[in-house]
Amino acid sequence: MTATLMDGRPLAARIRADVAREVAVLGRLGLATILVGDDPASDVYIRAKHRASTEVGIEPRDLRLPEATSEAELLRTVFELNADDEIDGILVQLPLPNGIDETKVIRAVDPMKDVDGFHPLNAGQLYLGQPAHVPGTPLGILALLEEYEVELTGAEAVVVGRSDIVGKPVAHLLLQRHATVTICHSRTRDLAAAVARADVLVAAVGVPGVIKSEMVKRGATVIDVGITRTGDGLRGDVVVETVDRAGLITPVPGGVGPMTVAMLLRNTVRAARFRRGLLAFPGR
Ligand code: NAP
């Protein structure tokens, strides 16, 4: 048996086209990004986000601050963007340089403009099952599962990784869709036993090949979030041979990655709706 590939590209393109139509109706939308320092990987991500924004008619504002920026200066920039009426969404590219408290910066972003969904208010709303802004990667994963009509009600879902950006939020979304959710992490005693139970497996670890083919239940749906740059190119968390065992599997690259950016754009439209009073903002 060879798994069906869950291609994120056509779905992401459809979502971007929907966003472009919505932007045309809403009028001018602004997305501000802040990059502190000159990390090359972050620069690539920021450029991709700007390109995608421009394509759908969202105006990006590219704020680049030097590596030596103090926490106070960064916070001031965030507060200015919070008060700027031309800005609907704010994204602070992580990781921030040493010496800047990420938690403090994330808390400073106006929750209504927090298109990354990292602010504690947004994280809390997700926990309560009343999502306001939800991080793009978990949203993208759920959209892919829906696109490929994966049954979630009653399914055994296993999430490997418990980050605030992917693991925890995707686990909450799966729980809200009535899956029975297990979250694994670096201290999980028997990862193989947990993974073997999964009808739906989400691997968000960042360790290439940590999920071996023989760990995966035959016919399972496998979402590989991991992206690691290696000498042999980009690698996911799941060994490629799993394609002969899974029912559905995301390719790396081309699976979850394109969905993340599409969902960021969708979140920016959502932020604009919240700000214009077209949609009630949960939690306020
Ligand atoms: P992270 O913050 O580093 O979290 C990694 C998680 O994996 C942690 O919870 C860690 O456990 C767990 N872990 C580490 N080694 C493990 C092991 N051997 N067995 C089981 N669990 C283990 O990473 P992240 O931000 O969630 O990102 C995860 C991966 O997804 C990365 O490769 C990242 O590049 C990728 N990613 C892709 C996209 C996309 O758009 N495709 C978006 C975001 C992230 P502890 O909590 O115990 O340390």
Query: Omega of the bond prior to 135 within 30 degrees of 0, cis?
Result: no
Q: Which of 201, 205, 215 to mutate to test the pocket of ligand 1 (most atoms within 8 A of CB)?
A: 205
The rounded Å distance from CA 258 to ligand 1 centre is 18
Model confidence over 208-252: pLDDT tens digits?
Answer: 999 999 999 999 999 999 999 999 999 999 999 999 999 999 999
Predicted local confidence at residue 200, as pLDDT: 99
pLDDT at site 95:
95
Q: What is the pLDDT of residue 144?
A: 98
Q: What is the per-residue pLDDT for 284?
A: 78
* Of 88, 110, 114, 116, catalytic: 116
Predicted local distance difference test score (pLDDT) of residue 283: 79
Phi, psi for 88 (deg, rounded to 5): -95, -35
205 in contact with ligand 1, CB cutoff 6 A: yes
Residue range 97-110, pLDDT digits in tens: 999 999 999 999 99
Strands 89-92 and 156-160: unpaired
Residue 43 has pLDDT above 90, yes or no: yes
| Mean pLDDT confidence for 67-71 | 97
Q: Give the ranges where 110-166 is alpha helix by DSSP (H).
A: 120-127, 136-147
Residue tagged active-site, from 93, 113, 114, 125? 93
Give the mean model confidence (pLDDT) for residues 153-160: 99
Mean pLDDT of the residues in the chain: 97
User: Is any atom of ligand 1 closer than 6 Å to the C-beta of 191?
Assistant: yes
Closest C-alpha residue for ligand 1 atom 30: 226
Note if 116 is an active site residue.
yes
Q: What is the pLDDT of residue 154?
A: 98
Residue whose CA is closest, atom 4 of ligand 1?
163
Region 168-186: mean pLDDT is: 98
Taking the centre of ligand 1 as the mean of its atom positions, its distance from the CA of residue 225, in whole angstroms, is: 8
The DSSP line for 78-123 is HHHHHH-TT-SEEEEPSSPPTTS-HHHHHHHS-GGGBTT--SHHHH
